[in-house]
């Protein structure tokens, strides 16, 4: 059975963020992930992790002005200094929190910028981030995101991510494979995961349509979880879904689908 991590940006949202760690532990999770830690002191998050015996398996690099609709800035020419400052900030948190991998959101392609400029900017920023993370013994992840939910998101397909990682040329850079986003953009989930398994550093799940918990939509998660075991995926699986009727009510899928 895969090892599941609760995404605290999506689950237990009825409680304040710092209270969600305890709720995740009481629900049987041994690990958590979330989008961003930066609104809180790193030491306070670490206290919550330690108090509840939880591992932190992932958070994101700073991604621009999230409230204003930005979803990353790694492909934005002219903002390289801001990106590099974000890498340093993320590393400062990682040193306290003990997280071993950080995800880089590419961002939405700025209007009017040629694709070769976007790619050159993205690759250059990734090379810098991977080199800085390597010094700390961390892995860098990049995540394809579907353009139905986030129109214009630059990195949106698994093969595209693999090609970019080839160009980056960093041995500590991997793909974060989000099953929900992949289903919406390309399908062929089992074959794609198996093909790119050596490049996949982390997997996240939600069903489609609705981005709710596994078992609420069209994805055969019972098969997919067995498939991950068969092909030897050994990483964490992040539960990054919107509960259809409350977090606790929706957690029965773990017993039903992940046996």
* pLDDT of residue 110 exceeding 70: yes
State the pLDDT at residue 29.
97
Q: Containing domain of residue 196, as a range?
A: 3-257
Catalytic residue list contains 240: yes
* pLDDT of residue 67 exceeding 70: yes
Residue 61's domain is classified under what CATH number? Answer: 3.20.20.150
Reported residue count of the chain is 259
Catalytic residue among 143, 186, 213, 218: 143
State the pLDDT at residue 50.
98
Catalytic residue among 30, 67, 167, 240: 240
State the pLDDT at residue 1.
79
Kindly report the pTM of this predicted structure: 0.97
Angle between helices 158-168 and 189-196 (to 10 degrees): 10
Compute how many other C-beta atoms are within 10 angstroms of the C-beta atom of residue 119: 17
Rg of the chain taking only CA atoms, in angstroms: 17
Sequence-distant (6+) residues with CB within 8 A of 251 are 27, 213
Tell me how many domains the chain contains.
Answer: 1
Catalytic residue list contains 82: no
* pLDDT of residue 259 exceeding 70: no
């Amino acid at each position: 059975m895969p090892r599941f991590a609760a995404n605290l940006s999506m689950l237990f949202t009825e409680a304040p963020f710092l209270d969600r760690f305890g709720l995740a532990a009481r629900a049987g999770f041994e690990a958590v992930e979330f989008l961003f830690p930066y609104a809180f002191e790193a030491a306070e998050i670490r206290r919550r992790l330690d108090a509840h015996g939880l591992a932190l398996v992932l958070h994101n690099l700073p991604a621009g002005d999230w409230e204003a609709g930005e979803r990353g800035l790694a492909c934005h020419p002219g903002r390289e200094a801001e990106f590099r400052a974000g890498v340093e900030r993320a590393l400062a948190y990682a040193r306290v929190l003990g997280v071993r991998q950080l995800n880089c959101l590419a961002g939405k392609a700025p209007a009017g910028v040629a694709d070769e400029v976007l790619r050159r900017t993205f690759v250059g920023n990734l090379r810098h981030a991977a080199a800085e993370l390597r010094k700390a013994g961390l892995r860098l992840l990049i995540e394809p995101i579907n353009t139905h939910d986030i129109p214009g998101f630059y990195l949106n397909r698994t093969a595209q991510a693999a090609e970019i990682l080839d160009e980056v040329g960093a041995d500590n850079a991997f793909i974060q494979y989000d099953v929900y986003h992949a289903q919406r953009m390309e399908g062929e989930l089992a074959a794609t995961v198996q093909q790119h398994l050596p490049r996949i550093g982390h997997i996240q799940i939600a069903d489609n349509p609705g981005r709710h918990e596994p078992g609420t939509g069209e994805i055969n998660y019972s098969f997919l979880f067995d498939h991950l075991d068969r092909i030897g995926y050994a990483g964490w699986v992040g539960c990054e879904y919107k509960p259809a009727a409350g977090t606790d009510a929706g957690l029965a899928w773990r017993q039903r689908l992940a046996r």
